[in-house]
Amino acid sequence: MQLSEHRFVLGFIALYLLLGGVYFLQDSNLEFMIYVGVIIAAFALLFGTLHITKFPSYILWLISIWGLMHILGGSVQTVDGALFAYRIYPFLDLGGDFYILKYDQVVHAYLYGVMAVVFLHILKNTLRSTGPAWILILLAVMASMGVSAMNEIMEFLIAMNLEHHGVGGYENAMLDLIFNFGGAIIGIILAHTISKKV
């Protein structure tokens, strides 16, 4: 699979990473500069292994949209601070970090829904795994949650090493994991339902 086939999604990613990187650099925002570096590494891995994974364009676009959501989350300012902290609607407000629904939680649910779809594709199309559909679905969700745990570890390390950060505390981390799991479940159900109809 040639990268030229995906020049539009690559151009889209390069544009917002460049703009976001310049913004965070000018703002001296080390936390989000680290995130930009992680996103670049993730996309390098993604596109560098396309000859093996053969991800269809729709998956690449879904992942690229997540990248944009992340860059916007750290750069767009709202009444609550950065967009990541924006409180969309008070479905549940127990004070402090325990607030549902925030933009950050939407991004988490979206990303790990996409990750579950990514792993389902790898299991079915790259590894040619066979067996009951529910086992592949369970494995895809659990793989997505593994990536989710790695993300929370990275956020913990950032919080331990940077004096100024927007990671949040214990309640925020637990809510992140809940939204990650919920997103993975919703994403995999949608992917499985759509694949059965096409």
Q: How confident is the model at residue 116 (pLDDT cuts 50, 70, 90)?
A: very high
Whether 90 and 179 map to the same domain: the answer is yes
**61-85 residue pLDDT tens:** 999 999 999 999 988 999 988 899 9
Q: Are residues 64 and 99 in the same domain?
A: no
What residue ranges in 2-150 does DSSP mark as E strands?
77-78, 81-82, 87-95, 98-102
- Same domain? For 62 and 130 the reply is no
Q: Total domain count for the chain?
A: 2
pLDDT band at 164 (very low <50, low <70, confident <90, very high): low
Find the angle CA(112)-CA(34)-CA(39) to the nearest 5 degrees: 40
Q: What is the pLDDT of residues 29-44, one digit of tens each?
A: 777 788 788 889 999 9
91 in the same domain as 56: no
Q: CA-to-CA distance for 173 and 161, rounded, in angstroms? A: 17
Q: Do 191 and 112 share a structural domain?
A: yes
Helix and strand element counts for the chain (H, E): 7, 4
For residue 182, the enclosing domain spans 86-198
pTM of the model: 0.88
- What is the model's pLDDT at position 165? 52
